[in-house]
Amino acid sequence: MIESDELLSIRAAELYYEEDKTQDEIGSILALTRWKVGRLLAQAKASGFVRIEIVHPRARRLPVERRLREAWGLTDAIVVSTSGVDDQDELQTRTAQAAADYLTALRPTPRTLGISWGRTLDDVARHLQDGWAAGVDVVQINGGVSLNRRAGTAASTAVTIAQKAGGHATLLPSPAILERLETKQAIESDRAVSAVLDLASGADAYLFSAGAADAGSVLVDSGYLTAHDVTELVRRGAVGDVVGRYVDSAGAIVDAGLDGRTVGLPLESLRGAQLSIAVIAGAAKHAVARAVVGSGLCTVLVTDEETALSLLDHPSSNQHHDGQRGTP
């Protein structure tokens, strides 16, 4: 009898999902009541015989999001589907769009949004629609005056996000990394720069990404570090950078000297924030994603399905579950 019901549920599912028959039509074909057909279709789904997948590029993986929130103590998680993704560019586009959608739906809307810079944030800025919010001011949280051809990227990202929200952008007029500690200290003590950092430290929300520890880093591309520098950082345990600061798998600073010459908010500002949104996607960033989430650097993660599953399959012993957000 059980086997008969199973076969009937499969046949009913085939007629309903593949031949577009109504439940009444299926009842006539199989000599069953409409109620029995409905029960068989529900049984087919519950038994795993039917899998419904939404394949639109903006589709989200809600069950994975729930597991991610519960496993890592996140306030929220946004996970985009990787179905039909052919390359890293498409994956980046989907994740950036999801981050833009999340910002647009965010309530209450932050009055001041602190942002980092880089390729991911630039993509998020481009995907935001004009009028995504009303009167949101944007402030840079780390230095971004480039040393070469990528000049202007950090400033244009902040200005674009602010303009599309009818707000103002406050830029941090400094390189990301200085050659000498004394120079960095002098810059941060400058009245104009310190005023920006003070504004950034009081932002209502933060939006940032993370870079993989490899030669493709935007910090290498922008001329701050060399490929050899990054190789040495990896040798010392670096898994990636967060707002220009290289961290290990536990989210700890790898090179105190380099960190001391880096201009911008310290990582503790992200850990103490009520709302800090990390946008991280791609296989190359699985390790740094674990470091960010596991060390409490974000309250919200926007990521792709494979990165999310990696986080669920390889939990960290440094998970941040103390609930003490908002206490610097």
Give the model confidence (pLDDT) of 187-199 as tens digits: 999 999 999 999 9
Any idea which of 51-65, 84-98, 101-115 has the lowest mean pLDDT?
Answer: 51-65
Answer whether 15's CB lies under 8 Å from 43's CB: no
Amino acid identity for residue 240 in this structure: G
Kindly calculate the radius of gyration of the chain based on its CA atoms and give it in whole angstroms: 24
Q: Identical fold at 2-46 and 62-313?
A: no
pLDDT-derived band at 316 (thresholds 50, 70, 90) equals low
Residue in this structure with the two tokens 């944030």, named with its chain if needed: 121
Nearest alpha carbon to residue 65 among 80, 54, 53: 80
- Band of residue 53 on the pLDDT scale cut at 50, 70, 90: low
Tell me the percentage of the chain whose pLDDT exceeds 70: 91
pLDDT band at 17 (very low <50, low <70, confident <90, very high): confident
CB-CB contact of 92 with 281 (8 Å): yes
Element (H, E) at 192: helix 191-201
Token pair for 261: 């010459």
Q: So where are the chain's domains?
A: 2-46, 62-313
Is 83:291 a contact under the CB 8 Å cutoff?
Answer: no
SS3 call for 278 = strand
Does the N-terminal peptide bond of residue 173 adopt cis geometry, omega within 30 degrees of 0? no
Beta bridge partners of 300: 76, 277
253, β-bridge pairs: 247
Statement: residue 41 has pLDDT above 50? yes
Dist. CA 131–CA 233, nearest whole Å: 41
177 three-class SS:
strand
The tens digit of pLDDT for each residue in 262-309 reads: 999 999 999 999 999 999 999 999 999 999 999 999 999 999 999 999
Report the candidate in 301, 258, 259, 200 with the shortest Cα–Cα distance to residue 291. 301
Higher pLDDT, 154 or 37: 37
Strand residues in the chain grouped as ranges (E): 76-80, 112-115, 137-140, 169-170, 205-212, 240-242, 245-247, 276-279, 300-304
At residue 259, what is the residue type? D
Q: Identify the pLDDT of residue 322.
A: 44
- On whether the CB atoms of residues 246 and 213 are closer than 8 A, the answer is yes
3-state secondary structure of 142: strand
Candidates 3.30.70, 1.10.10, 3.30.450, 2.60.40; CATH matching 2-46: 1.10.10
What average pLDDT does this structure show over 201-224?
92
> What does the pLDDT read at residue 57?
63
- What is the rounded average pLDDT for all residues in the chain? 89
| Angle (CA) 127 133 139, round 5° | 80
Let me know: does 310 contact 71? Beta carbons within 8 Å: no
Residue 328 has pLDDT above 50, yes or no: no
What are φ and ψ of residue 256, in 5° steps? -65, -35
Q: Which amino acid makes up residue 147?
A: L
φ, ψ for residue 80, nearest 5 deg = -90, 150
List the one residue out of 231, 230, 247 whose CA is nearest residue 239: 247
Tell me the average pLDDT across 208-227.
90
Is pLDDT above 60 for 211? yes
Model pTM score: 0.81
Average pLDDT over residues 4-12: 86
Residue 296 Ramachandran class (φ > 0 left, ψ -120 to 50 alpha, else beta): left
pLDDT beyond 50 at 327: no
Structure confidence at residue 151 (pLDDT) = 41
- pLDDT(146) > 70: no
Question: What was the pLDDT predicted at 242?
Answer: 97
Tell me which fold the domain 62-313 belongs to: Rossmann fold (3.40.50)
Question: Is residue 182 predicted with pLDDT exceeding 70?
Answer: yes
Contact 289, 280 (CB under 8 A): yes
The pLDDT score that the predictor gives to residue 317 is 47
Q: At what angle do helices 2-13 and 23-30 cross, to 10 degrees?
A: 130
